[in-house]
Amino acid sequence: MTKFSDLNLDPKVLKAIDEAGYESPTPIQAGAIPPALQGRDVLGIAQTGTGKTASFVLPMITLLGKGRARARMPRSLVLCPTRELAAQVAENFDIYTKHMKLTKALLIGGVSFKEQDQLIDRGVDVLIATPGRLLDHFERGKLLLTGVQIMVVDEADRMLDMGFIPDIERIFSLTPFTRQTLFFSATMAPEIERITNTFLSSPERIEVARQATAGENIKQGVVMFKPSRRDREGTEKRTLLRALIDGEGDACKNAIIFCNRKTDVDATAKSLKKYGYDAAPIHGDLDQSTRTRTLDGFRDGSLRFLVASDVAARGLDIPDVSHVINFDVPSHAEDYVHRIGRTGRAGKKGTTLMICTPRDDKTFAAIEKLVQSEIPRLPNPLGDAAPLSEEPVNADTSEKAPEKTARGPRVSRSKKKPEAEAETAKPVEAKPVEAKPEPARTERAKPEQAKAEQPKAERSPSGRSGGRGRDDKVVGMGDHLPSFIALSFEERRTG
């Protein structure tokens, strides 16, 4: 069995490894460290949680043991897709260089430029950065990459998924052609093949596991769930999530709960806290201090549930995660492998659960095809009945709905409106106008009849008198006298 002492590492590095409690390298470490120490390019492919970080940190600090850093010109560069992963690499660097005089700088967003500039100005041996912040420093004229001897791209597939291809290509163009390049990834997409063919020179390919596979010590399961209504899907899924957690009992010491959208991360964390579960969110929109504080709390056990976006799916080394729960089926099948890789690390047992709705069927089928195995279906802990809403108002909706339908104020009024008009019209029609023998009233009614029986020649085409007749003459108070005025004069004469 291979030991670290057989890998030709620096004695000071071996001492730090021994103090950290490690004795034997993992397969990816045993395969990648020897060619890296020889100065060759390396392309490492292994499932997450197999120790890829040490695969490039250990040979890198051994090679950098001799030499001296110059101001604004780092000797090595490590690119990471997220702030958390970059911070984790920096922690590994501190562990393995405790007996060496090597310096580092961490360039990530959410931290003051001034503090980072001060570190760069003094000169660093290892520069650990995210692509965006690295280019920000370069464009401000605070950094030169012409002295980079070793360049590492960690979680290369995630870098490409996040749209960093243009940034990666530009950074490669800013480094010397003679650099040594190390690529490490959990999956090998066709785009990575193109990048490696462009920027790596005859790399040593180390693949210690089948691409995109889950660890054998991880127990998987999925609940096929159909919400009662689409607008209640989020609420009912959160109810199901709490039932799954309760069903695991004491076995669920802690868990990372993954959501696809940041809004769902916040809503799920808020819902869990509302029902007494110790939970906190972490995603890219939170400031760095909050993200660091939340992650530290989950690591030291003071926080039980970490509700996260895919910012926590890649590379984060949290040794004792008992459960990973996919609240949402990941949009990309490869992300499923990375998410569940947060549990079952370092040979420990882990459990993963997932909630799958009918609209996720296509993505779920792609996941099973990728991992080349069928994920066991689990019974719904809530039974066949649709789960109740978590909000009291929504829970009573089904009871209040018939009452609202029974009232039907608008419908009933619209139906009764013609009847009401008919009732009000009846007294007018029944008014005994003709029964009264008074001649005056009878004569007064005649002008109205005359107006109604007015000759068409005296009426306008629109049906209104006083307009233009058939002879196109203007009817007014000039040579023509309207009949209704004449009738009124006749009444006065007869009276």
* Same domain flag for 56 and 80: yes
Distance (Å, whole) CA 310 – CA 337: 12
Distance (Å, whole) CA 335 – CA 315: 12
Q: Say whether pLDDT at 428 is over 70.
A: no
* Same domain flag for 78 and 195: yes
Residue 90 confidence (pLDDT):
93
Closest CA to 133 of 114, 155, 107: 107
* Same domain flag for 179 and 223: no
Distance (Å, whole) CA 491 – CA 266: 87
pLDDT cut 90: percent of the chain above it: 48
Distance (Å, whole) CA 54 – CA 62: 12
What digits encode the pLDDT tens for the residues 50-83? Answer: 788 899 999 999 999 888 888 889 999 999 988 8
Of residues 419 and 214, more confidence is placed in 214
Residue 458 confidence (pLDDT):
46
Q: Say whether pLDDT at 371 is over 90.
A: no
Q: Is residue 416 part of a domain?
A: no
* Same domain flag for 490 and 352: no
- CATH number, domain of 125, equals 3.40.50.300
Residue 324 confidence (pLDDT):
95
Q: Which tokens is 495 given? A: 């009276």
Residue 267 confidence (pLDDT):
96
Q: Say whether pLDDT at 88 is over 80.
A: yes
Name beta bridge partners: 287. Answer: none
Q: Which tokens is 259 given? A: 């959501």
H/E element, 326: strand 323-326
Distance (Å, whole) CA 491 – CA 469: 27
What digits encode the pLDDT tens for the residues 278-301? Answer: 999 998 888 888 888 998 899 899
Q: Is residue 51 part of a domain?
A: yes
Q: Is 482 strand, coil or helix?
A: coil
Distance (Å, whole) CA 73 – CA 176: 12
User: What CA–CA distances, in Å, run from 229 to 225, 236, 237, 387, 396?
Assistant: 12, 9, 11, 11, 15
Q: Is residue 383 part of a domain?
A: yes
* Same domain flag for 249 and 123: no
Question: What's the distance, CA 341 to chain centroid?
Answer: 19
Q: Is residue 382 part of a domain?
A: yes
**Phi-psi category of 176—alpha, beta or left, where left has phi over 0 and alpha has psi -120 to 50?**
beta
What digits encode the pLDDT tens for the residues 168-195? Answer: 989 999 999 999 999 988 777 787 888 8
* Same domain flag for 248 and 318: yes
**pLDDT bracket for residue 235 (50, 70, 90):** very high
**pLDDT bracket for residue 164 (50, 70, 90):** confident
What is the crossing angle of helices 361-371 and 333-340, to 10°? 70
* Same domain flag for 286 and 255: yes
Residue 106 confidence (pLDDT):
94
* Same domain flag for 76 and 46: yes
* Same domain flag for 184 and 89: yes
Domain of 261 in residue numbering reads as 218-392
Query: Per-residue pLDDT averaged across 80-105, rounded?
Result: 91
Q: Say whether pLDDT at 233 is over 90.
A: yes
Residue 403 confidence (pLDDT):
42
Final residue before a domain boundary, out of 392, 424, 448? 392
Q: Which tokens is 238 given? A: 């959160």
* Same domain flag for 143 and 119: yes
**Biggest alpha carbon–alpha carbon distance for the chain:** 138
* Same domain flag for 44 and 132: yes
User: How many C-alpha atoms does 186 have within 13 Å on its Cβ side?
Assistant: 29
Q: Is 156 strand, coil or helix?
A: helix
Q: Say whether pLDDT at 256 is over 80.
A: yes
* Same domain flag for 67 and 173: yes
Residue 150 confidence (pLDDT):
96
Number of structural domains found in the chain: 3
Final residue before a domain boundary, out of 207, 233, 265? 207
The pTM score is 0.65
Q: Is residue 420 part of a domain?
A: no
Q: Is residue 71 part of a domain?
A: yes
Can you spell out the DSSP letters for 377-424? B---TT-SSPPPPSSHHHHTHHHHHHHHHHH-HHHHHHHHHHHHHHHH
Q: What is the dihedral of CA 483, 488, 491, 495, to 10 degrees?
A: -160
Q: Say whether pLDDT at 432 is over 80.
A: no
Final residue before a domain boundary, out of 207, 228, 245? 207
Q: Which tokens is 159 given? A: 């870098």
Q: Is residue 460 part of a domain?
A: yes
Distance (Å, whole) CA 219 – CA 234: 26
Q: Is residue 236 part of a domain?
A: yes
